[in-house]
Amino acid sequence: MNQVKCECGHVNPHGTILCEACGKIIEDGTQITAEAVIDMRYEGSARRSQTYNKSMIDKIWNFFSSVKVGVWLIIVTLIASSLGTILPQEMYIPNIMPVAEYYEDQYGWFGRLYYDLGFHNLYSSWWYLLLVASIGVSLVICSLDRVIPLYRALNKQRVIRHESFLQRQRMFGTTSGSVNEKSYELAIQQLKKKRYHIREDNGNILAEKGRFSRWGPYVNHVGLIIFLIGSMLRFVPGMYIDEVLWVREGETKVIPETDGQYYLKNVDFKLEVYDKEKDNEAFGDALDKTGMVAKNYQSDVILYKTKGNTVAGEEPELEEVDSSSIRVNEPLKFEKFALYQVNYKLDELSKMSFLLTNKSTSETFGDITVNLYDPEKVYELGNGYSVQLMSYFPDFEFGDDGNPTTKSKVPNNPAFVFKMFSPEKPEGEVSFVAIQQTIEPLGDNEYKMAFNGIETKDVTGLTVRKDLTLWIIGLGGLIFMIGVVQGAYWNHRRIWIQRKGDEVWVAAHTNKNWFGLKKEIQLVLAGTEINEPSDQLKDNQVDEGETD
């Protein structure tokens, strides 16, 4: 690689525009010399993307190192993201019919088109993920392409700068005639008061502060990369668990994905609503208008851990670990898991009771109570009376073939086929009993199962969550915030005070907030014989001030 030696003696890497040490313009670019103020972006250092363009790797590197490409990627991602909010995403639509039908049914031809284009699942589409990944690649390459040369240039800068460098700074001014040493002393003192780091070389001064703010963008990009890596880790098996757990009151259930280690008992589920009388009276008007407003969803639960090793099929021995209440915003945490209150079902049928009744005399011969989760086969009533449960349909409907069947195991609409035995009918009579209907398939019966009440239980719906990526994502977010604050709330300022012949030259540069820099220069030079530098871009609309 041919390196370039500047007249000051410093050897710069190929592609350097401004000498890293003295700032003299190195390239013979006539364009640059024509302008009054030099482009200070990246200190005019040699960036790989601006220097090489031969191999395939160079080309890919150059493509992604361009901020223009990066901004386009951001804009395209932004527009793509907005498209996904026109209609609800698939995860937010009710599960009542096939997805394609739902979109057409609700939103007509537009819904159909939306579905056909795949916009109903936009954020997990391959092209959206590709966009995000490209932004990630762009972040890495853009940062590497700039941060290394920038670091070199800032690290290697000398106090004494070339005349052409000073003259072409946005803030520049000269003072002719002799400037007494007291002025120098005062300026240095005032610079120090403003927390500048001062380097002196042969009576020349370089005052610098806030250089670390130049690293802000690169720090925040590192944070973003960590964040993106964290969100990809979710797809690694074992890192992320998202399960639903429905538990009825009184029921103890194994918590999924815990290898049978943990069990949860739902002691009680509570739904509370705001009460105009008891709660804050200020809510009165709002409650009158909106009606019922939920105040609390709460599951009182007991968490158990299995004791020792359990053989498959054997009831595990449980040991209570925790007893607490799960509420919205207050998940129950254990090990790496968290249980969240997300859903509920009130008053699910749990038991139904019936009276064995003589249809003509209305005389009863004892009652049976059917546990709808776990019914018994035979209910003995004594004195020669008994009832056999021949079939049970927890969620009854008539199937396509006209026979009764069950939609699910949940007792939403229980139906039973009973066989009633009595001294008069020792062979038994068959009766089909469902809610509000009775069918006697084998002719008229003497007895019936008269409905005698129900018991209900609430069911709580919990989300079982384990997310081992959270700390990485949090770390990425934290680093991003540090970087963005570092870059945005501090400014990198440099003031050069140099003796050139019998003149004193002052030049200054900042990466942003020129207004603040100007005020500071005023304060620093106040009371000295040194003239304030002037803004060479003032009243010039085509300004090219900021760098980075």
Partner 1 sequence: MITLSENLLYIAFVLYLLSIPFFGGAIKQKKNLGHQQNSSKSANIGIVISILGFAAQLGFFFTRWSIAGHAPVSNLFEFTTFFGMCLVGAFIIIYFIYKTPLLGLFTMPIALLVIAFASMFPTDISPLIPALQSDWLHIHVTTVALGEAILAVSFGAALIYLVKVIDQTKNSKSTTWLEVVMYGLIATLGFVIVVSAFSFADYKAEFNWIDKNDNEAKVEYHLPAIVGPNQGELLTAERMEPLVSVPGIINAKKLNTVIWSFGAGLILYAILRLILRKRIGAALKPLTKNINLDLVDEISYRSVLIGFPVFTLGGLVFAMIWAQIAWTRFWGWDPKEVWALITWLFYAAFLHLRLSKGWHGEKSAWLAVIGFIIIMFNLVAVNLVIAGLHSYAGS
Binding site for partner 1 (CB under 8 A): 41, 67-68, 70-71, 74-75, 77-78, 81-82, 84-86, 88-89, 91-92, 106-108, 123, 217, 242, 274, 279-280, 282-283, 285-287, 289-290, 293-297, 327-329, 331, 338, 340, 342, 463, 465, 470, 473, 477, 480-481, 484-485, 488-489, 512-515, 537-538, 541, 543-548
Q: What is the DSSP letter of 361?
A: T
| DSSP labels, 254-265 | EPTTSTT-EEEE
Q: Which is nearer to partner 1, 7 or 242 (CB)?
A: 242
> Looking at beta carbons only, is 317 or 546 nearer to partner 1?
546
Q: Are 432 and 445 in contact (CB under 8 A)?
A: no
Q: Give dist(CA 461, CA 471) in Å, integer.
A: 27
DSSP per residue over 398-462, as a string?
E-TTSSEEES-SS-SB-EEEEEEE-SS-TT-EEEEEETTEEE-TTS--SEEEEEEEEEEEEEEEE
- List Cα–Cα distances, 409 to 28, 394, 460, in angstroms: 82, 6, 16
- Closest separation between CB of residue 502 and partner 1, Å? 32
Contacts of 149 (CB under 8 A, 6+ apart): 13, 42, 43, 45, 46, 47
Rounded to whole angstroms, the Cα distance separating 52 from 15 reads 9
- Nearer to partner 1 by Cβ, of 40 and 420: the residue is 40
Contacts (Cβ under 8 Å, ≥6 apart) of 56: none
CB of 285 to partner 1, least distance (A): 4
In the bound complex, what is the minimum distance in angstroms from residue 294's beta carbon to partner 1?
6
Instruction: Identify any residues that bridge with 332 across adjacent strands, giving them in sequence order.
Output: 339
CB 431 within 8 A of CB 440: yes
Nearest to 237 by CA among 466, 11, 436, 461: 466
Question: 516, 546 in Cβ contact below 8 A?
Answer: no
Identity of the residue numbered 200 = E
Return the biggest CA–CA distance within the chain. Answer: 133
Residue 519 CB, shortest distance to partner 1, in Å, is: 9
Cβ nearer to partner 1, comparing 435 with 488: 488
Residue 136 C-beta: closest distance to partner 1, Å: 14
| Cα–Cα distance for residue pair 344/299, rounded to 1 Å | 9
Q: How far is the CB of 415 from partner 1 (least distance, A)?
A: 29
- For residue 473, the minimal CB distance to partner 1 (Å) is 7
Under a CB-based contact definition with an 8 Å cutoff, are residues 42 and 146 in contact?
A: yes
CA-angle at 471, arms to 466 and 474, nearest 5°: 120
Q: In this complex, which beta carbon is closest to partner 1, that of residue 285 or of residue 424?
A: 285
Other Cβ atoms less than 10 A from the Cβ of 275: the count is: 11
Smallest distance, Å, CB 279 to partner 1? 7
Q: What is the 3-state secondary structure (H, E, C) of 304-321?
A: EEECCCCCCCCCCCEEEE
**Residue 245 Cβ vs partner 1, minimum distance, rounded to whole Å:** 12
Closer residue to partner 1 (CB): 29 or 108 = 108
Report the residue number, 134 or 431, with the smaller CB distance to partner 1: 134
In the complex, what is the shortest distance from the CB of residue 40 to partner 1, in angstroms, rounded to a whole number? Answer: 12
* Residue placing its CB nearer to partner 1 in the complex, 233 or 485: 485
- Comparing CB distances to partner 1, the nearer of 304 and 514 is 514
How far, in Å, CA of 153 to CA of 155, rounded? 5
Strand order in the sheet with 294-306: 252-254, 262-273, 294-306, 318-327
Nearer to partner 1, 183 or 469 (CB): 469
Least separation, in Å, of the C-beta of 459 and partner 1?
18
Least spacing, CB of residue 291 vs partner 1, in Å:
12
Nearer to partner 1, 199 or 538 (CB): 538
Based on CB atoms, which residue is closest to partner 1, 92 or 315? 92
Query: Taking a C-beta distance cutoff of 8 angstroms, is the pair 416, 372 a contact?
Result: no
